[in-house]
Amino acid sequence: MIKIGITHTEAKYPNYPAWIESAGAAYEIVVLDWEKNNASDLLQCDGLLLSGGVDIDTQFHEPATKEYPLQPAAFKTQRDVFEMGLLTTALKAKMPVLGICRGLQLINISLGGKLILDIQSNGQPNHRAMDGVDHVHQVNLDPQSQLATITGTKQGTINSAHHQAVLEPAPSLKAVAFSSEDGIIESLEWKDPTEHGPMVCVQWHPERMQNKENEPLSQNILDWFLGAAKKYQHEHH
C-alpha cells in the first residue's frame, strides 16, 4: 500500500482523502493531526499533502504582530508548528509534497516568503468563497513550468477560497501560475528542482473542483502526486 499523509483540518477535511481514494484501492491515508501530535507517523508515508484551513499565525511571517481584515479570532499556532515540522522532515527526505491553499502559504512562509494578509484590503478583487460556494476565475500558467508540463495546459479555470495570498515567493521558489483577474500568485514550485524532492504548491482546491476527473488542473496534479509517491515508496520502503 502506498501511504499518503494528509494534515488534519477543520475545513472540509473529508474532501482530501476522498480525492486520493478516487484513484483506487492502492492508497492508504495517514491522518497527521496536530492535536494528536503524531508527526512520527509521517516516516511511514510516501507523500505529504498539506491541507487548507485557518490563517497561519502572523508571528511566523510578519516582523510585528498586526491586525488585519478577516483575521481569525484565534490562530492555531500549534498546528502551524506541527506542520512546519512535517514539512522540514518531508523536504529532508525528498518525499513528494503537495501544498493546497493554506499548505502553499505554509510552505512559502517556512522557506522565507511573505504573504498578503488580506487580498481585498490590498486593493485586489475577492478570491473568497461566498455563502459556501467557491469563487471561480481563470489562471495562466508559465509555459516553461513543471506545473504546465504536469497539467499539459497553459491556462484554465480554477476554484478559489482564500483571502490571503503570496506576496513574495521564498528565495528557493518561483511563481508559475497567476490569476488572470489580478495577477495574484496561484502556484509555486522549486527554482531548481534538481536539488529537491518533488513538490507542487497550488492556491486553489483541486480536491473539490467541479468536474475534477476531467480537469487537468485537478486530475493531472493528483496523478503526478500519486505517481511521485509510488516512486518514493519503491525507492525507500
Residues that are catalytic: 101, 205, 207
Would you state the cell numbers that stand for residue 178, as one nine-digit string? Answer: 497567476
Number of CB atoms found within 10 A of residue 113's CB: 22
CA angle 47, 52, 139 (to 5 degrees): 95
Q: What is the residue-wise DSSP string for 212-225?
A: GGG-HHHHHHHHHH
* Cα–Cα distance list, 230 to 183, 197, 203, 227 (Å): 34, 13, 24, 5
Distance from the first to the final alpha carbon of the chain: 10
